[in-house]
Amino acid sequence: MKQAPTIKAALYMKMVTLCALVTASVLMVNQTAFAIELSKQQNQPVPAGEKPVDPYVQSNDNAGATPMTDDTVYHQFGGMDGISRIVDDLIDLSSKDERIEGIFRATDLVRLRRTLKEQICYILGGPCDYTGRDMKESHKTHGITMMEYNALIELLQVAMEKEGVAFRAQNKLLAKLAPMYRDIVLR
């Protein structure tokens, strides 16, 4: 009678050990895949004019929104040329706006311009991949308030209007960007 619990206990211990080994194997595979991806990206040269950043996994998932299903709105924005002008105007306006210019003072504006152009192009269904960090990571040290976030959106609307983007197309982009406030606004 005393052997039955011992056999059950031994089987239980073997099952626990097996589960632990399987879990450890899965973790090692995931860590290895992450390390390989990270090493590929660490070997990427820093684009001209940008400051180096700590390594991170690049993914379109970092863009903070799913892309539009076709490129219609992308073309309504004037394609990459139109997006580039909008982003350049937005950053120029933001850097001079007393409500939010402080946020941009310590920012690598060359990198910001590039990644923001990629992000908008990607979200609008254009032929771009987003290579920046995710929204929470990108904004965690800025301490952005809702007032500052709203000021930035206001300036984006000014830049889109200047480019002649139709109001309806503007709203489609803004609808994609709006939920990001949860990861951007920290105060």
Separation between Cα atoms, residue 73 and residue 124, nearest integer Å: 6
pLDDT, position 155: 97
166 within some domain: yes
Q: Is 119 among the domain residues?
A: yes
User: Are residues 84 and 17 part of one domain?
Assistant: no
Give Dmax (Cα) for the chain. Answer: 87
Is 107 found in the same domain as 21?
no
Planar angle of CA 109, 119, 45, nearest 5 degrees? 60
Q: What is the DSSP letter of 1?
A: -
Q: For residues 27 and 115, state if they share a domain.
A: no
**Tens-of-pLDDT digits for all 187 residues of the chain?**
555 556 666 666 666 565 555 555 544 444 444 444 444 444 567 778 777 888 888 989 988 899 999 999 999 999 999 999 999 999 999 999 999 998 888 788 999 999 999 999 999 999 999 999 888 777 777 778 899 999 999 999 999 999 999 999 999 999 999 988 787 887 7
Mark whether 31 and 114 lie in a shared domain.
no
Q: pLDDT at position 75, please?
A: 98
Query: 144 forms bridges with which residues in the sheet?
Result: 185
16 and 66 part of one domain: no
User: What residues make up the domain containing 39?
Assistant: 1-43
How confident is the model at residue 171, as a pLDDT? Answer: 97
Q: Provide the domain count of the chain.
A: 2
CA-CA-CA-CA torsion for 85, 88, 92, 93, nearest 10 degrees? 50
Tell me, yes or no, whether 51 lies in a domain: no
Residues 76 and 161 in one domain: yes
pLDDT of 83 reads 98
In angstroms, the CA 142 to CA 77 distance is 29
CATH of residue 171:
1.10.490.10
